[in-house]
Chain A
Amino acid sequence: MTEPTFDSIFDDLVDTSEELQGFLTILESLLPEASLLLVSSTDVVLDGAKSLALSPPTREKLVREARVTEDFVTGKADSGAPCYAVHLVKLSAVLIISCAAVPEGDKDPGAAMISLLRNTLELAFYRQEREVLVADHEQSVRQINILQQQHGKLIEDNYRQYRLNQEREKEYARKLESEIAKQTAELREANVRLEEISRLKSDFLANMSHELRTPMNAIIGFSELLSETPLAEEQLDYTRTIAQSAKSLLSLINDILDLAKIEAGKLELEHLPFDLAEVIGNVAAMFKIPAREKGVVVTCRIDSNVPKRIMGDSNRLRQVLINLAGNAMKFTEQGGIDIAVAFEREAAGRAVCRFSVRDSGIGIPADRVGAIFEKFTQADGSTTRKYGGTGLGLAICLQLVELMGGRLAVESEVGKGSTFYFIIPLEEAPAEIISLQEHKTAGHGKAVRGGRILLVEDNAVNQRLASILITREGYEVEVASDGAEALEHLRHQPFDLVLMDVQMPNMDGMEATRRIREIEADPDQKQSYVGLRALTRPLGIVGLTAHARKEDETACYASGMNGFLTKPIVKAKLAMILSEMMPQISGNDATEPS
């Protein structure tokens, strides 16, 4: 297919003479002085605005001549003026032009004229082409405008999109936020509830401890007292059974409370200096009598390079060792029990030591070794009946040793015996800390009994029990039933020591202690208290409470007490603390008993 042209498409529209006329107009605007004539290919003659008088034969001759050459053909108009004819190939027409502006008589006017005409014609053609260029340009401008509009619209659209997206995002963020806030609130609420429950449990634990220990206190105390009265053999046997049962019940209660505390993460170990050899010695001493009764030998040894004084929780360490030694005693019928502390190695400035309790008892079958550390389990289900015990002891020991940074393990052979051991790092106590306890125990041996003790206790049964125990230890006792009464007693009588129950009506033990310390600090007030004015150092006050928790002890010391004793009162412990706390009667320091 040939390339279509405007002429071929719009052939009906195309009028050749129009195009020629257009060119003529352009030319006239360029040469206003000239007379013009255009002859088309079909010999149609178009006159310019200024007509050129030219006879038809002359015109035809000029046209003919011009059509066969590219050059200008010269002729003369009717007026005699020179005229020029040229074939315009682009228009298929002949132009005849006579220019009056050219002065006659010039030497060679023709050449200059022709050159001028050529340039003018080129200019005219250029002008005609320019129309197309202008149209082209205009089209480009229109297209650019459209693109700009489209561009603008795209930007608008995109902005709209952007806004929509932002709104959606905001909406989403809002939802997310409120959702998070809701969940956080729910979690907080749940947390508060859990904390409340946990607190209630703690309180329950404390109360249980108190409620259980108070009657136990009476049972143990009075059965001990009863056994010391004149009794028939049978009665004595019953009494001992009562005491024995009460003791095992108390130890079970203690174990359960300990375990509960450990499991609640409430058990914290102390970090205080103590003498390791003393603790080991105490434990061994505890088992000397039952061992002798059974015919078993209890020995203990400590490597020489184990630090003598260490930092830690002596009570808990003692508890573990007593438990292990107790087990060993329980399951050993002959041979010996050996408690040992061996130096293993040095690590990070600490002496890593191996504590072991070895027995020559029945041993543990290999397949039961794992089970013995479980709660309420013994190596053999049948052993429970034969040997007694709750099976809580080892579970507690396991946890305590873990708290100390070690692991309780056992090596055992059935029929030959077992060795329970754990390896823990021991921190040596700084030399400068001199334990109050040590200071006091230094004079332990020289202690001579005697002195006045004020017992502050609201419970009548406990008053009686404690009074009897104190009297039996060789001290004089006065009873007050609350804090206010205690202060009254102190106003009128001298005392060497106060045993102060913590929970009492009217004025509790802590409040009373704080008041006593205030009075001591004020010389004027101190003078009016007979029980205080003669003292050169603070009056000894020992707290008595059934709350065995660490925080209870701490609270007692915080109120100004300088001793602490848990109820039920155990005779041995009472004796120990009284001998520690009572001033030694060795000269003029002694307070006169009244």
Chain B
Amino acid sequence: MPSAKEILRKFTELKTLPHVAIKVTQLVNDDRSTMQDFEEVIKLDPVLVTRLLRLVNSPYFGLSQKVESISKAVVFAGMKQLRNLVAVEALRGMFKGDDVDFSAQKLWLHSATVAILSGMIAKRIFGKDGEDVFLAGIIHDIGLIVENQMAGEQLREACRAFREGKGSLIECERNAIGADHAEVGYLLTKEWGLPQDVLSSIKSHHQAKQVKSVSSTGSILQLAEFMAGKMQYWHIPGPIEPLPPELTAHVKEKVADYKIIIRDLPGEMAKAKELYESEG
């Protein structure tokens, strides 16, 4: 059976993240990068430019003047928001295809919901910058996409086994494919050079016992994953893994907070849909 690395090697030979996404990710990680550098990169992609301008001119930014230059838009959006915009754009094309055992489209909806919920939890409950967890959310199941393309049959086999209650999704994947999507996703995003906490959150998002702290990216991702699953934003039919006890205790403490997040989620999703998905 192929290892996660082998699957990935085959995958990256076929598909690479668009140049723009890689470049922008590098720029975000580089302290010396300037807005001009960003402008230089993204102006090559007209779709991205349109989306960026739409983003900064949306009510979310509430600017009094219409922004029409790329450099200004980059300034207003900020580097991380820009990176997420690029990531969403780059990933969306990969989440295509729909069948009974595995639906990439449903996975995209799931990923988007997890991303939005993660961002909300980070910002509203922990008062943290929500951009990194948003990225973690949108990208955390990328491993499934890789498996779908490199080992579609085995993945479907794993999904069936999971649905029939023959163990956790990770276990079923390992049995059927020889690798699991958390591992594959971790390795892939490591190649893309994403921030360390994003990488580790992807690696651990199914590992119930490895919670570091409640406010870590990994914990937030797990909370969001759990909530999205309960809300039926679920890509693979089957039992939902319970929350680790630390996180259950946290939710009990913050009942009022989570009620508000659940109340506000539909509005946030509509907003995100407008920003990221409308045809530009």
Indicate if the CB atoms of A139 and B258 lie closer than 8 Å.
no
> Which residues of A have CB within 8 Å of B266?
3
A150 touches B78 (CB 8 A): yes
Task: Compute how far the CA of A12 lies from the CA of B230 in the bound complex, rounded to whole angstroms.
Answer: 11
Bound-complex Cα distance A34 to B125 (A): 37
Chain A proximity mask over B74-94: 1 for CB below 8 Å, otherwise 0: 011011000000000000000
Other-chain contact of A145, B78, B127, B227, B259 (Cβ < 8 Å): B127
The interface-forming segment of A128-136, A192-200, A347-355, A513-521 is: A128-136
Q: A3-B266, A4-B230 are in contact. Are A139 and B260 (CB under 8 A)?
A: yes
**Is there a chain A Cβ closer than 8 Å to B124's Cβ?**
yes
From A151-159, A237-245, A277-285, the one touching the partner chain is: A151-159
Which positions 148-190 of chain A face chain B at CB distance < 8 Å?
A: 149-150, 153-154, 157-158, 160-161, 164
Quote the shortest CB–CB distance from B25 to chain A (angstroms): 17
| CA distance in complex: A8, B252 (Å) | 14
Task: Please classify how large the interface on chain B is, using the bins under 10, 10 to 19, 20 to 34, 35 or more.
Answer: 20 to 34
B264-276 Cβ-contact flags toward A at 8 Å (1 or 0):
0010000000000
Distance to closest chain A CB from B227 (angstroms): 6
**In the complex, A1 has a CB within 8 A of chain B:** yes
Within 8 A of B (CB), among A246-271: none
Is the CB of B248 closer than 8 A to any CB of chain A? yes
Q: Are A135 and B256 in contact (CB under 8 A)?
A: yes
B231, A153: Cβ atoms closer than 8 Å = no
Shortest Cβ distance from residue B244 to the other chain A in the assembled complex, whole angstroms: 13
Verify A132–B34 contact, CB threshold 8 A: no
A154 to B79, CA, bound (A): 9
CA distance A145 to B123 in the complex (A): 9
> B251 contacts which chain A residues (CB < 8 A)?
10, 13
Complex Cα distance, B266 from A6, in Å, reads 14
Which chain B positions have C-beta within 8 A of A161? 34-36, 75
Closest to A11 in B: B230
A6 CA / B257 CA spacing, docked (Å): 10
Whether A146 sits at the interface, judged by CB under 8 Å, is yes
Give the interface SS of chain B, mostly helix, strand, loop or mixed: helix
In the complex, the answer to whether B123 meets A8 with C-beta atoms within 8 Å is: no
B78 touches A153 (CB 8 A): yes
User: B residues within 8 A CB of A1?
Assistant: 231-232
Complex contact B255–A150 (CB within 8 A): no
Q: How many angstroms from the CA of A37 to the CA of B240 in the assembled complex?
A: 38
Q: Judge if B2 is at the interface, Cβ distance under 8 Å.
A: no
In the assembled complex, the Cα of A149 lies from the Cα of B230 at a distance in Å of: 33
B128 lies within 8 A of chain A by Cβ: yes
* Cα of A438 to Cα of B259 in the assembled complex, Å: 121
Residue A42, interface by CB 8 Å:
no
Given contact pairs A131-B256, A142-B125, A9 touches B262 in the complex (Cβ within 8 A):
yes
Chain A residues with Cβ below 8 Å from B257 are: 135, 138-139
In the complex, residue of chain A having the shortest beta-carbon distance to the beta carbon of B31:
A160
Q: Ordered nearest first, which 10 A-B pairs have the shortest CB separation? A: A135-B256, A142-B127, A139-B124, A9-B230, A4-B231, A6-B259, A132-B256, A135-B257, A131-B256, A136-B260
Given contacts A145-B127, A157-B78, 15 further A-B contacts (CB under 8 A): A1-B232, A4-B230, A4-B231, A4-B232, A9-B231, A9-B262, A135-B260, A138-B257, A139-B125, A139-B261, A142-B125, A143-B123, A146-B123, A149-B129, A158-B75
Please name 6 pairs of A and B residues whose Cβ atoms are closer than 8 Å in the assembled complex, sorted by A.
Answer: A9-B230, A9-B262, A136-B256, A139-B257, A154-B75, A154-B78
